[in-house]
Structure 1
Amino acid sequence: MTGFDLARLLAERGDERYDLHARHLNHQLPRMLHTLGFDKVYDRAEGAYFWDRDGRDYLDMLAGFGVMGLGRHHPVVRQALHDVLDAGLADLTRFDCQPLPGLLAEKLLGHAPHLDRVFFGNSGTEAVETALKFARYATGRPRIVYCTHAFHGLTTGSLSVNGEDGFRDGFAPLLPDTAIELGDLAALEREVRRGDVAGFVVEPIQGKGVHPTPPGFLRAAQELLHRHKALLIADEVQTGLGRTGDFFAYQHEEGVEPDLVCVAKALSGGYVPVGATLGKDWIFKKVYSSMDRVLVHSASFGANAQAMAAGLAVLTVMEDEETVAHARHTGDLLRSRLAALVDRYELLHDVRGRGLMIGIEFGRPKSLGLRSRWTMLQAARKGLFAQMVVVPLLQRHRILTQVSGDHLEVIKLIPPLIIGEREVDRFVEAFTAVMDDAHGGGGLMWDFGRTLVKQALQTH
């Protein structure tokens, strides 16, 4: 029998993975992975773990940049996708109304009772693009205010409100925009007083560096924006769906009711890309103001049956397994255990975050020997020490983490929300061992630091 045989294809050509990527995709990715020793071959995954072909397990504290909220291959989500494929639905006819999008919208809006309608796209950046378009059209104003160091996506509209120059360089001209410092209410007021601001887009906890908004800021910003007829847009692409110990991160602050909320990542169950923009009724009615405008904003794959089934399964699992409360409890445990190490290690500067979104920040040590090494790294490139921690966590302890942004001495932990005390113990023990090595002043870690310095100097 001829045809497509996936198992056979992977068996025959799976070992070519890095070479294929180098030849046909982003050639810098395999190069970077080889340099860091991250060029592993993972054969399978389940829950919060990967396994290599030798059967060794790796703890995932990255969750695919937050996509794998329920871990990999959750049986309920997996079954939902089998079921929707077996159902043979008349999907994406574009001229009917299928039940699944309405049912998922209803379930999502149940977690944001002040909002009324949902637009489904395919990603977080699309969810942000939708919010920007809707805010500008609904208010009749061109300008969006955002925060320095924000990350809202990489398509042109979302890139316009991206606070990192490294992502923006060479892609101008972008939309009219203005950046303010996170928490700077006076700067926000200066901008909205000009009368041309459509909205203010903000992550309740910034992904780059893991910086929560200051207490009271979102509520005060909302009042200020509404006074000047501008909209509050909450980007919950990474922080939403239980990540911070509430369903949405803006819910940590009483009285905050954003006009538009962007969701993606974990809603997918890790299988089918999905993005959603939740908004107020009047905003949607302005955008879709007549039958002529029924397709004025749409997406070819938006609200497809597989994505909707995955989303419905994810929300059902979260209710049944009390995922939000679990994330809050486990996050508090992990954060408190890490925070207890700050006084013990002079290179460890701060531990912050909410729920299972935790930032570990390193800083300049006091003792002379460590200070000279730290200065050497900083002179080459800020962020190298954090990279020096991430690498042995994987190489020696089989734990996958990430540096939280370019030129930041911060590691971000965003594990699957299903981890428990066993995974907390494993991470804290491994992190303690890496910190002991760094403060011991010897060996492999600082040798690797010198390698990173050479690499950094070569790329300048």
Structure 2
Amino acid sequence: MTDLSTAPSGLSASTGASASAASPYDLAALVAAREDDRFALHSRYLNDMWVRVLKTIGYDVSFTRGLGPYLWDRKGDRYLDLLSGWGVFAVGRNHPAVREALVSVLDGEFANLVQLDVSTLAGILAERLIAHAPYLEKVFFANSGAESVEAAIKFARAATGRPAILHCDHSFHGLTYGPLSMNGDEIFKKGFGPLLPDARQIPFNDLPALDAALASRDVAAFFVEPIQGKGVNIPDDDYLISAQALCRKYGTLFVADEIQTGLGRTGRFFAIDHHPGVEPDMIVIAKALSGGHVPVGAVLTRKWIFDKVFDRMDRAVVHGSTFSKNDMAMAAGIATLQVMKDERLVENSAAKGERLLHAFRLMAQRHELISDVRGRGLMIGVEFGSPKSLMLKATWNLLETASSGLFGQLICIPLFKDHKVLTQVAGHANPTIKLLPPLTLNDADCDWIETSFDAVIADAHKSSAVWSLGKTLAEHAIKARRSG
């Protein structure tokens, strides 16, 4: 038991006979013994600013359990999770089949990460992924989406001999240096330069701009999200197929970033599957492939690109990662794909997404603050815009002056506090709330979503309490801007 005299300020000592008697490997007991220290530990040893954010907006409820699309806080209240860990929990939290697969690996005492060997599980997972994109032949496994994008950048340069990488405004491909160089939001880049040279940005959904950028013939690859996560921005129907054609014309590789949109999120296995004939040179995936347990990412690529990287035996390990292809990650991926197939989660995503989009579009007809509703499957954006009513318009303008996109929090916070629905805006300074729930949603969950959003948005049109909250948030935003 911790000596009270040596416990750091703000942290309690482990208390109770159960804490002292428990096995040091009983992590459930350890968490229970230190639960009251959750935020103090993070403030002292991790990210204090994030703790301050959570407390400011009232999200410091301490979640203690997760199952399927639901979370429970320390008081036992149940919440509907529309974030799913930014898309990680596509099959829901703690899916029993994924857990069973991971336990089977531990019980099997496999010879994991020998390094001077190859992994059977990695071969099986690669085979099953390629079945969903049969025009590609090879898979490179990594530990995250950002690491997969880093690999794709290296592969593109090696395969083409060209230096430049092209991406779109409002894009998000990760936060390590290569992906950060292709980030469409300057707030993520500030203070971290210089970034990757020859990373160029063009407007999203703009074919003439793409044509002009590729005409220099020094662009190795064009990276594009089939639906942009920051804003849930959907391109025109002909954009991706035309972009692919332009890349072929100029000898540039066409790379689809499906880290968030892949594995059923949009009602198809890949979002590009909504566009017949689109067959990228590389597809980057991660998030949902983990099953919510073990981080994993992958690059699906054409064989000739792969062979340009690993072109001789002395270059067989010219790119890699220590923990990639580890058995736990591969098992999580295999189990996730099987759950999606067995439970028809891609089809459920399409059906529940169609229902919710219809419901939100009906809301938009009733509530002037909703300016647009868009999405595919269970990736949905509800955008708010300046209202027509003079009184609402004046308050809206005040919030936008204080901090662009602040109004979204006036919806997210009461959704969380009053209706136990966890969601967030679709990016920094973005007026769009994004729904990214597990693909396991049922009709009762959809009822919960529809009634909660309708009630909160209706309140925002008439409740002084909502706008009072907005005034408080605006004051915080102004203070933060001045101190920065």
Q: 1:393 corresponds to which residue?
A: 415
Q: 1:71 corresponds to which residue?
A: 92
Residues 1:324 and 2:337 aligned together: no
Q: How is 1:115-126 mapped onto 2 (pairs within 5 angstroms)?
A: 115-126=136-147
CA distance in 1: counterparts of 2:80 and 2:38, whole angstroms: 22
Q: 2:320 corresponds to which residue?
A: 298
Q: 1:270 corresponds to which residue?
A: 292
Q: How is 1:81-100 mapped onto 2 (pairs within 5 angstroms)?
A: 81-100=102-121
CA distance in 2: counterparts of 1:404 and 1:7, whole angstroms: 33
Q: Which residue type is aligned with residue 144 of structure 2?
A: S
CA distance in 1: counterparts of 2:407 and 2:29, whole angstroms: 43
CA distance in 2: counterparts of 1:33 and 1:3, whole angstroms: 30
Q: How is 1:17-416 mapped onto 2 (pairs within 5 angstroms)?
A: 17-175=38-196, 176-416=198-438
Q: 1:14 corresponds to which residue?
A: 35
CA distance in 2: counterparts of 1:166 and 1:26, whole angstroms: 18
CA distance in 2: counterparts of 1:344 and 1:128, whole angstroms: 42
CA distance in 2: counterparts of 1:323 and 1:427, whole angstroms: 19
Counterpart secondary structure, 1:346: coil
CA distance in 1: counterparts of 2:295 and 2:94, whole angstroms: 15
- In the TM superposition, what is the alpha-carbon distance from 1:443 to its structure 2 partner? 2.8
Counterpart secondary structure, 1:205: coil
Q: Which residue type is aligned with residue 134 of structure 2?
A: P
RMSD: 0.9
Q: Which residue type is aligned with residue 356 of structure 2?
A: L
- In the TM superposition, what is the alpha-carbon distance from 1:55 to its structure 2 partner? 1.9
Contact 2:119 2:325 in 1 (8 A): no
CA distance in 2: counterparts of 1:236 and 1:72, whole angstroms: 21
2:461 paired residue among 434, 439, 442? 439
CA distance in 1: counterparts of 2:255 and 2:151, whole angstroms: 11
CA distance in 2: counterparts of 1:370 and 1:98, whole angstroms: 60
- In the TM superposition, what is the alpha-carbon distance from 1:7 to its structure 2 partner? 2.5
Contact 2:265 2:377 in 1 (8 A): yes
- In the TM superposition, what is the alpha-carbon distance from 1:11 to its structure 2 partner? 2.1
CA distance in 1: counterparts of 2:32 and 2:298, whole angstroms: 37
- In the TM superposition, what is the alpha-carbon distance from 1:3 to its structure 2 partner? 4.0
CA distance in 1: counterparts of 2:60 and 2:352, whole angstroms: 30
CA distance in 1: counterparts of 2:146 and 2:38, whole angstroms: 27
- 1:376-402 CA-to-partner distances (Å, cap 9, x unmatched) read 111101111101100000000000001
- 1:384-428 CA-to-partner distances (Å, cap 9, x unmatched) read 110110000000000000111111111000000000211111011
2:470 paired residue among 430, 445, 449? 449
**TM (normalized to structure 1)?**
0.99
- In the TM superposition, what is the alpha-carbon distance from 1:82 to its structure 2 partner? 0.4
CA distance in 2: counterparts of 1:11 and 1:404, whole angstroms: 33
Q: Which residue type is aligned with residue 435 of structure 1?
A: I
- In the TM superposition, what is the alpha-carbon distance from 1:213 to its structure 2 partner? 1.8
CA distance in 1: counterparts of 2:294 and 2:31, whole angstroms: 21
- 1:205-258 CA-to-partner distances (Å, cap 9, x unmatched) read 000010012111111111111111110000000000000000000110010000
**Residue segments in structure 2 that go unaligned for 5+ positions in a row:** 1-20
CA distance in 1: counterparts of 2:87 and 2:390, whole angstroms: 38
Q: Which residue type is aligned with residue 62 of structure 2?
A: V
Contact 2:412 2:424 in 1 (8 A): yes
Q: Which residue type is aligned with residue 76 of structure 1?
A: A
Q: Which residue type is aligned with residue 347 of structure 1?
A: L
- In the TM superposition, what is the alpha-carbon distance from 1:43 to its structure 2 partner? 1.5
- In the TM superposition, what is the alpha-carbon distance from 1:186 to its structure 2 partner? 1.0
Query: For this pair of structures, how many residues does the alignment match?
Result: 459
- In the TM superposition, what is the alpha-carbon distance from 1:54 to its structure 2 partner? 2.4
CA distance in 2: counterparts of 1:342 and 1:7, whole angstroms: 45
Identity %: 50
- 1:18-53 CA-to-partner distances (Å, cap 9, x unmatched) read 000011111111100000000011111100001123
Residues 1:425 and 2:468 aligned together: no
CA distance in 2: counterparts of 1:7 and 1:125, whole angstroms: 31
Over 3 Å off, 4+ runs: none
Q: Which residue type is aligned with residue 140 of structure 1?
A: G
Q: Which residue type is aligned with residue 252 of structure 1?
A: H
CA distance in 1: counterparts of 2:474 and 2:367, whole angstroms: 23
